[in-house]
Amino acid sequence: MTEKNKHTPQERVAQIISDVFSPIVLPTYMMVIAMWVTPLVSIPEKFRFISAGIVVMLTAIIPTAVILALIKTGRAKDVSLSSRSERTIPYVVTIICYLATALFLGKISTVHWLPAFYAGAAGASVIALIITSRWKISAHGSAVGGFTAALIWLAAHGQLIFGAKWWVCGAIIVCGLVGSARLILKRHTPAQVYAGIALGAVAVLIALVLKNN
């Protein structure tokens, strides 16, 4: 029996949820929502696609390439980065990429909240990196917590131009699913998941509030 077949159906579903809503891809989802579900949809489509592509490069492709390089060189065992010691370089790269994204969007965006989201994500990652030296706080939790908090903030400020309540409800459900998935896979304790969600949510909300003042 292969290792893959040893996983229960529940664990396989949990792994799919973890992959679909991983910290690598949630920033991309946020950019897509920003470009097609907020007043930014009025920007010419070509410009929206180019901007989204740059954000995908910075927040998804570059961090993924770094993780794959670490695996190839034997400095990481798998893309999940299960060991705390494997997370330092990916965290540092992610922080730099988030800050670069925030600066890029600050230069081209007509709204304050879009670069603020990525600045908040960078701040959450800095704190998570510090905590990770002692305790395995959930990166998935932090990412989905920030994502959910951002959608709630956008809805509260009238920035989701259609289906606001459904976006918020969906984000809250996803937050619960991701947290449950990490527990089912035994990658974190409940405290690590809750702490991650709280960290991401608070960091993003602080960045949004500060930028809004």
Mean pLDDT of the chain: 92
Contacts of residue 23, Cβ cutoff 8 Å, sequence gap at least 6: 94, 139, 140, 142, 143
| pLDDT for 82 | 67
The fraction of the chain above a pLDDT of 90, given in percent, is: 80
Residue 105 C-beta-side C-alpha neighbours within 13 Å: 30
Residue closest to 122 by CA, chosen among 88, 98, 104? 98
How many independent structural domains does the chain possess? 1
Residue closest to 64 by CA, chosen among 18, 22, 122, 12? 22
- 133 vs 57, higher pLDDT: 57
Question: What average pLDDT does range 66-80 have in this prediction?
Answer: 82
Range of the domain at 8: 3-212
